[in-house]
Amino acid sequence: MTEIKVFDLLQRRALITRESAHVIEEAMRPSIADHGEVVLDFSGVDAVTPSFVDEILGIIGKAVSERPERQIRVVFLNSPTRLSTKFAAVGRGHGAQIVESNLGVWEMTIAQ
């Protein structure tokens, strides 16, 4: 499993655009293909928007459809925000089950 340091790739404290999600797409592909899991570390990031999360889950969902297992685990470490009903709704739109630990870690399972 590879932990992707989002801030190191984007050098932005606020992730508000869909385009930001595409910058880390290539970094996620090997982890998804090899392990069926992607861990995104948001250390240094102060904010994410629902549109950024929507795009990330869309990218991951596409990769899931290319895997024989058709399921993937996604972890957001050091999430800059709590899991709100908005983010949970975005996840449901992609078929993701999302739970948040008491440490602020989001764990998602996406299956198709």
Amino acid at 30: P
Q: Rounded to two decimals, what is the model's pTM?
A: 0.90
**Structure token pair of residue 33:** 């293909």
Under 8 Å CB-to-CB from 56, ≥6 apart: which residues? Answer: 21, 24, 40
Under 8 Å CB-to-CB from 26, ≥6 apart: which residues? Answer: none
Q: Is 44 exposed, middle or buried (0-12, 13-18, 19+ CB in 10 A)?
A: middle
Q: In the chain, what are the domain boundaries?
A: 3-111
* Strand-pair category, 71-77 with 106-111: antiparallel
pLDDT in tens, 48-103: 999 999 999 999 888 877 777 778 899 999 999 999 999 999 999 999 999 999 88
Pick 3-111's CATH classification: 1.20.950, 3.40.630, 2.40.160, 3.40.50.
Answer: 3.40.630
